[in-house]
Structure 1
Amino acid sequence: MSNKNLFLKSGFLRAPLQNGVGRYVCQLQRIVLKFCKSNGSSRGIRDYIEQDLVEFAEQNPGVVVYLKPRRHRAPIVVGEYLNGDRVWMSMHNKTHSEITKWIEVLRTQQGDVAATRLRKYQSTDHPSIQGPWTPFTFKLPELNTATLPNVKYGENNRLAPSATEQLRRLFEKQKLDEKDLKTAE
């Protein structure tokens, strides 16, 4: 494990259960647009506020939109999600169309999953009460005390002959039958 994981928060990967099965619940709870009214680096976000913000708010009634003007500061967008995650993005010198795309990205994701060190890579909604499967789950208990190699537990003794082996036997039998016919004539 590398050192970069030391500074990431650790957690489990939990998607909202069955989100979208009955109805979709947008995971973005609130979005804060911080910008300067006069700074040139905030021009793109000011254009977005003037042209598209009202339409965004009408299309997403479950998302609370805050505008926070700040003097002589670079513009940023902060998205807060239902699971408690906060995603901070700098919009310094971004155009109106780039800001539109990034806000759409914030709207459609479910938090900052990339900045989480996963403690467990598998998860399920219905865990097994029998325990996890292992390669030894269905092995005979007698194998624990047997001295190996043992002819009784050999894999080749339990397996049926393969298709290649059956074809070889048929071919040998056919050769023998042909020899018997030639000797009989």
Structure 2
Amino acid sequence: MAKTDTRIQKKNQATIMQAGLEVFSQFGFRGSTLDQIAKAAGMSKPNLLYYFKSKEAVYTALLARLLENWLEPLKAIDRDGDPVEQLLGYANRKLDMSRNFPRESRLFANEIIQGAPRIGDVLKGELKDLVDEIAVVINGWAAAGRIKPVDPYHLIFTIWSLTQHYADFDVQVRAILGGVDPFEGAQSHLDMTLRGLLQPT
């Protein structure tokens, strides 16, 4: 029978994961240390090592949770729904993730920039398979005249660019906007851009 973690153990694991997210999203995997994570978690390094055997174990656990959350909005696209509204809904969910989980987005971006050494198999496997499935749906919508003809892969890349940018380049965006909340205008711009790109004339 598998051993179940106690409430305190689960709480400590969650604390370490949050500390790891804070450290990794700021310094990247290579620039981060277990000492930094332990300090951010408010615990000793030996105590941290009781829950996670290495820095990589914390990082891998964070990426696994992140990828699971990242794939959910794409899985939620309904092939039987209104195409424009479904794709706009997906884009808005991605924008909400950038607004609410910017550190997670930057962690993911750092991993990709480094060549995705720890999630390359997932990108080429589960993510690619899911994007391929959605591409078939998008092509079907276009063939039926329900949206304008569009390359489905580049459409998805465009949605990622229009949403994740606000998290990954937060400092640059806010500097240019002079402190204005970038998300106040991002959603209306996203809506206008995608409707213009997708709605059949």
Q: Which has the higher strand share?
A: 1
Greater gyration radius: 1
**Superposition TM-score tier, normalisation by shorter sequence:** under 0.3
Name the TM-score, length of structure 2 as normaliser.
Answer: 0.19
Q: Which has the higher helix share?
A: 2
